[in-house]
Structure 1
Amino acid sequence: MEQVETQPVEPTDVDSEVTAELVRIAELEAKVATLEAAAAEERERAIRAVAEMENLRRRAALDVEKAHKFALEKFATELLPVLDNLERAIDLADKENEALAPMIEGVDLTLKSMQSSVAKFGLVALDPTNQPFDPNAHQAMSMIENGELAPNTVMAVMQKGYELNGRVIRPAMVMVSKAPA
């Protein structure tokens, strides 16, 4: 049998190699921990970015919905005096004068046609007579003592209010009851 010569290994060489490997392992473990923390942070950022995008989409959809719903608000507000004037013309017309009957009928039909047209787009007149006063939908022009109605009840409407798709665009000008003194 042939004899293999082995050189004696010095313990310091093995120790230094093991120590070097342990140091390398510790460095790699520290690097892994740092990278895992960075990855977790990036995951959090990605989750937040996705949530923010969803919120932006939702907000944009709501903004578009509101824009569609209330795009006519300025136009509708400009039409209100026309509706008021047509109503005033009918109220003040001399209905006893037969010669004016066709004109009054024409104005009345025009008013009804216009009211029907604007109602299709969500413009609705408010008639709060005998309803409780609501500062969001009514503007009190005066308060009058009244024993028949509950206090803060709308007694009369001086000018109609209007809402567009549920939003008040002009409050009704009203007279409100108050308890007798």
Structure 2
Amino acid sequence: MSEEKSVPNEQEEVANNDQVNTQQAEELGAGSDEISSLDEQTQDAASLEILQQQLDAALAEAKEAKDQVLRAQAEMQNVQRRAKQDVEKAHKFALDKFSNELLPVVDSLERALETAAPTGEEASKAMHEGIELTLKMFLDVLKKFNVEQLDPVGEPFDPQFHEAMAMQESQDAEPGTVLAAIQKGYTLNGRLVRPAMVVVSKASATKIDEKA
């Protein structure tokens, strides 16, 4: 009877051992799955980091390329603006030298008009009128091309457009007033071609004594 009972016990032990082995195998399998899962997560994180670095690098390159395009556009606009200004200046002041060469002719006509005062004779009167008409035509042509005459008598002295040749006492004019123009000045499109040579008033000794 005792031998019959020992057989089932051995079978139970084998079964128990199999069960234990199965559990251990399952635990080992679960552990390997967890390790594999961790490895995959680590690889995914590394891949994401690499992708993020590549994205940041691509964004930086795109920003740099955009900045270069904007700088190139700005430089092109500056070049176009400067070229336009140069063309405008060339058009506006192309007659600068030419007009300056014509001014002595105008000066000669003005002096001739001052010296050729008309007398009672018809020939003298006709010559005076002819010179006056020629001078007017000359000035009209200059004005047509934006050459303006500066005749500042009675105006305050302006060093930007006037050149003082002498100072003269005056009781009637305020100090610093242009009393006479020895030679008239001219501008081309607002830019000085030749300054007016003038006589400027200064305070008279009488006015100074009165103030004292």
TM over 0.5: yes
* Segment of structure 1 superposing worse, 15-24 or 162-171: 15-24
Alignment-derived partner of residue 71 in structure 2: 48
What is the aligned-residue identity percentage? Answer: 47
Deviation for aligned residue 1:37: 1.6
Deviation for aligned residue 1:127: 0.8
* Segment of structure 1 superposing worse, 8-17 or 161-170: 8-17
1:130 aligns with 2:183: no
Deviation for aligned residue 1:9: 4.7
Deviation for aligned residue 1:142: 0.7
> Given the alignment, which residue of 43, 49, 71 partners 1:20?
43
Q: For residues 151 and 138 of structure 2, what CA distance do their matches in structure 1 show?
A: 18
Deviation for aligned residue 1:58: 2.2
Q: Deviations over 1:12-44 (max 9, x none)?
A: 444333323321221110111121122112222
1:148 aligns with 2:172: yes
Deviation for aligned residue 1:172: 0.3
Which AA in structure 1 matches 2:86? D
> Given the alignment, which residue of 68, 79, 98 partners 2:102?
79
Alignment-derived partner of residue 29 in structure 1: 52
Q: For residues 153 and 14 of structure 1, what CA distance do their matches in structure 2 show?
A: 100
Larger radius of gyration: 2
> Given the alignment, which residue of 189, 192, 195 partners 1:165?
189
Relative contact order higher in (CA < 8 Å, ≥ 6 apart):
1
Unaligned runs of 5+ in 1: 1-5
Q: For residues 166 and 107 of structure 1, what CA distance do their matches in structure 2 show?
A: 28
Q: For residues 45 and 180 of structure 1, what CA distance do their matches in structure 2 show?
A: 68
Tell me the C-alpha RMSD between the 2 structures.
2.2
3-state SS of paired residue (1:47): helix
3-state SS of paired residue (2:201): strand
* Number of positions where the alignment pairs a residue of Structure 1 with one of Structure 2: 176
Evaluate the alpha carbon distance shift between residue 176 and residue 94 of structure 1 in structure 2; reply closer, same or farther with a 3 A threshold.
Answer: closer
Q: Deviations over 1:90-123 (max 9, x none)?
A: 2222532544444443333222211111110001
Q: Deviations over 1:59-110 (max 9, x none)?
A: 2222211211111111001110011111112222253254444444333322
Unaligned runs of 5+ in 2: 1-28, 206-212
Q: For residues 130 and 104 of structure 2, what CA distance do their matches in structure 1 show?
A: 18
3-state SS of paired residue (2:148): strand
Q: For residues 151 and 106 of structure 1, what CA distance do their matches in structure 2 show?
A: 38
Q: For residues 168 and 99 of structure 1, what CA distance do their matches in structure 2 show?
A: 39
